[in-house]
Structure 1
Amino acid sequence: MHFLDYLVVVAYLGLMLGLGVFFGRNQSRREFFAAGNSMGWLPVGLSVMATLFSSNSFVFYPAAALGDSLRIGLSLVAFALMTPIVVMVFIPVYTRLKVETAYQYLELRFHVSVRILASGLFVLLRIGWMASATYAASVVVSSVMGVSQIAVIVGLGIVSVGYTMVGGLRAVMWTDVIQFFVFVTTILVTLGLIVQLTDASVMEIFHTYFDGREGLVLDFTPSMTLPYGSWVILIGVFLEGLSAFGADQVAVQRYISSRSERSSQLGAVLNLFGLWIVIPGLMMIGVGLFAYFTEHSSELGTGTLTEILAGDSKVADRALPDFVRVHFPAGLAGLFLAALMAAIMSSIDSGVHSVTTAVVVDFRDRLFPHLRPDNERAEIRWIRTLVVIIGAITITLACFVGPLGNVFDICKMLTAAFGGPLLAIFILAFFSKRATWLAVLLSVSISTIFTLALMCTQDWFSIWYWPIGFGTAMVLGWLASYLQAAEPTEYTFFQIMKHQDGDV
């Protein structure tokens, strides 16, 4: 680490804190939770993308491409298929009902118990996701900077919680926008440097990557254990994306912060374009690294690159940070670290903010309304205290994720066990007049337990647990609906579209 690298990192962290202070003036509850419902489509879209494109992803995509496949690129197809559903179904429901959380809708459609269950699943999902995502990127940051992982996790956690606590959603969203451009700039710089050092044309780099290897782009082998098989990417990532961008409070909070339904919808489309820029860029970094280390395998170990990758599964994870540490000139290593820090902080700030919103709106206000302060200043103090508590829990958990095993698999399984059934609740609520609150409670509880049990007993590729959790909850929910008489409702999707006026 050169002095310039430290300067870039310190300047970036200072900018994030400065934005928190700038937007922290004259805070109200509505401003803190929804940015005064005044955000345009640009910050909505880029904030959604930067937030849900976690630090896990920033580390994972280059490693997957370097290792043995570009099959993960089919995620782009899955995201393209789910985005129209988010735009045409989920966003109109939230904006026309003017809810504060996604789960508030579920009480209107079903019962308060379903709202509490869904919000509780979200809180567990998001805290586990934040902890695993923070740990994953801290491994790389600590190796490049030469400091302990605990110091990285705690330091970045404090900065993230700090500007979130002070600046609220507006600060979180605008820092996310900056973080998106840091991602893109870093990807372009890294690609350029790899091509330069490889001393080969783009076509030669691709030829080196594909030479003598098969099944790198598509593999439709029907297998539950094949890593990144084409079937599981198309099905599992579609469901994961639909849950993350449609039923997760992190994304929903951005939609309801928008000044209109149309702005929210444009933001969701912009998010898709952002994913189509960042994901291919990260995968191309992996392709370039393969070509480079084919000629310079001694930098990773002894033997050819293929032998090294086969002998040590963690080499792919280590390749990019090793390349950065050795070859990035002064200042650019700091930019790479800033991008990783951006990924970590965008995971923490948005997660902590949205979990705080869910706890306040769905639990405190709904179940214990007497705890709500009488004046705005006391309310903001209450909310900020909760931000600090949730942030401390997340940071503490992130320090203990490592011994649990493969971080990518842990993250995917945690989100699948809770996120799959959570998505099923919304699909039943939108499109089944027959679905009842008791059926939903039973099916989601059983499917969550069933999915967790499978995780402990089966060695399947982690993304398969998404269709398992979602499918089990859907089937059980439909069957269990016949145990209870259906009640009249005005809150299925088509009824909402018919009777509610949208602000477009």
Structure 2
Amino acid sequence: FLSIPGVAYFGTLGFLQLTFGYLIGRIVVARLLLPAYYRGELTTAYGMLERTYGLGVRRFTSGVFMLTRLLADSVRLYATALPLALMTGWGIGLSILVIGLATVVYTYAGGIRAVVWVDAVQMGLYLLGALVAAVAIQQLTPGGWTNVLVSAGQAGKLAVVDARWDFGTAYTLWAGLLGGGLLTMASHGTDQLIVQRLLTCRDLRASQRALVGSGVAVVGQFLVFLMVGLGLWAFYGGRQFERGDEIFARFIVEQLPPGLTGLLVAGVFAAAMSSLSSSINALASTTAYDFWAPAVGARGDDRRALRAGRIFTLVWAGLLIGAALVFMPFGRGATAVEVALAVASLVYGGLLGAFLLAVRSRRADARSVVVGMVAGIGTVTALWIFARAQVAWPWY
């Protein structure tokens, strides 16, 4: 909600190329991985790895997921605190605490059912907020959207497709198709955050339709928010901002009348709380089923696992809030969505490789899978640390 307009503000519509890969990745997951999940009664995505390679691999991949989700979603929580801090004057730290505590209340009380239903309501607010912002830009920008499009076109900001084969450029057609496709195969095929939602569908066919349909919808969704970013660029005359996530937040708080400000701030919170609540629930269920239940001899006892999961809900909420507070001094430069996707990309390749081996090959054993994941994650992390300028995040 806040980050994508910032991407277009500082760049072009090129981010949209990633969504082409997102759609392809969803189609592959729907055809390849979802049937494997629905063939067995699984409590987490990583249960499939246990059936093939044993409990050790299941725990290892679960641990990788939990660390990645903690880092990525703490960044999102930080970004969401910005408009609340601007609006109330509380400071980002207090705003992080308020959002985190508000989210954990309904996640703790309702579990995955509450998460799914609240997500549906929040999605409506999220999209309504974008449409309200578009109308506001039309009213507040001299010449309205006609001037926005003319100015953006003259500045080259309407460019969508960049066909160069350049590893140092994040948003090209090939980075979008390959990087976006593999990223989505990993996030929607191996990440408990998404898999837990897909497994709540009525049956395999319903799950496949929901997954592929979301891929079509996400193209339009990102286009809307990228266009909002271009509108903000025209409104502010290309003014420089310290953080990309700050631009839309400032527009909401400083330029809109109170009623519209409240509506868009609700959209901001809806977007963040939707992601945060799903993450907390996924982290809690993964901890309960993949670590706690085997350790205490409670496998198959869903009642005990549910009680433990509620405790882990509070634990993970606290860790996410703490990590967001730690991120505060580093929240400059790239937008939160870019940082979150880059962090996830460090481990998603290794996770995806393990799942594809489990589905398509019987030659690998537990040791080789873990060694391969460690080697892959280590290599990508080294690229991120030492060659970030030469290799943009979608390429790894």
TM-score past 0.5 threshold: yes
Which of 355, 370, 375 aligns to 2:297? It is 370
Counterparts of 1:200-349 in structure 2, within 5 Å, are 200=143, 202-213=145-156, 216-294=159-237, 305=238, 308-309=239-240, 314=242, 316-349=244-277
Higher RCO (C-alpha under 8 Å, 6+ residues apart): 2
For residue 498 of structure 1, what is the aligned residue in structure 2? none
Structure 1: runs of 5 or more not aligned: 1-57, 295-304, 469-504
Are 1:61 and 1:279, in contact at CA under 8 Å, matched by a contact in 2?
A: yes
Instruction: Letter of the 1:292 partner, please give it.
Output: F
**Are 2:341 and 1:418 equivalent residues in the alignment?**
no
Quote the offset at 1:458 in angstroms: 1.6
The secondary structure found in structure 2 opposite 1:80 is: helix
Which of 350, 363, 368 aligns to 1:434? It is 363
Instruction: Letter of the 2:327 partner, please give it.
Output: V
Which of 179, 182, 189 aligns to 2:122? It is 179
**Are 2:372 and 1:443 equivalent residues in the alignment?**
yes
Q: Give identity over the alignment, percent.
A: 26
**Are 2:21 and 1:78 equivalent residues in the alignment?**
yes
Whole-angstrom CA distance in 1 between matches of 2:198 and 2:90: 38
**Are 2:4 and 1:61 equivalent residues in the alignment?**
yes
Are 1:160 and 1:349, in contact at CA under 8 Å, matched by a contact in 2?
A: yes
The secondary structure found in structure 1 opposite 2:388 is: coil
For residue 399 of structure 1, what is the aligned residue in structure 2? 325
Are 1:236 and 1:463, in contact at CA under 8 Å, matched by a contact in 2?
A: no
For residue 88 of structure 1, what is the aligned residue in structure 2? 31
Quote the offset at 1:432 in angstroms: 2.5
Which range moved further: 281-290 or 222-231? Answer: 222-231
Quote the offset at 1:262 in angstroms: 1.8
The secondary structure found in structure 2 opposite 1:100 is: coil
Quote the offset at 1:244 in angstroms: 1.1
Instruction: Letter of the 2:202 partner, please give it.
Output: R
Are 2:78 and 2:96, in contact at CA under 8 Å, matched by a contact in 1?
A: yes
Whole-angstrom CA distance in 1 between matches of 2:216 and 2:106: 28
Are 1:194 and 1:292, in contact at CA under 8 Å, matched by a contact in 2?
A: yes
User: Deviation digits for residues 150-173 of structure 1, max 9, x if unmatched?
Assistant: 111111111111111111110011
Quote the offset at 1:275 in angstroms: 1.1
The secondary structure found in structure 1 opposite 2:12 is: coil
Quote the offset at 1:207 in angstroms: 1.3
Quote the offset at 1:424 in angstroms: 1.1
Quote the offset at 1:457 in angstroms: 1.5
User: Deviation digits for residues 270-306 of structure 1, max 9, x if unmatched?
Assistant: 3224313321110110122222223xxxxxxxxxx3x
Quote the offset at 1:204 in angstroms: 3.6
For residue 8 of structure 1, what is the aligned residue in structure 2? none
Counterparts of 1:134-213 in structure 2, within 5 Å, are 134-200=77-143, 202-213=145-156
Whole-angstrom CA distance in 2 between matches of 1:461 and 1:320: 30
Structure 2: runs of 5 or more not aligned: none
| TM-score between the two structures when normalised by the length of structure 2 | 0.92
Quote the offset at 1:67 in angstroms: 1.5
Quote the offset at 1:103 in angstroms: 0.7
Are 2:26 and 2:215, in contact at CA under 8 Å, matched by a contact in 1?
A: yes
Whole-angstrom CA distance in 1 between matches of 2:233 and 2:305: 53
Counterparts of 1:18-37 in structure 2, within 5 Å, are none
Quote the offset at 1:384 in angstroms: 1.2
Quote the offset at 1:342 in angstroms: 1.2
Instruction: Letter of the 1:323 partner, please give it.
Output: F
For residue 381 of structure 1, what is the aligned residue in structure 2? 307
Quote the offset at 1:318 in angstroms: 3.1
User: Deviation digits for residues 346-368 of structure 1, max 9, x if unmatched?
Assistant: 122111111111111111223x1
Are 1:95 and 1:255, in contact at CA under 8 Å, matched by a contact in 2?
A: no
**Are 2:396 and 1:457 equivalent residues in the alignment?**
no
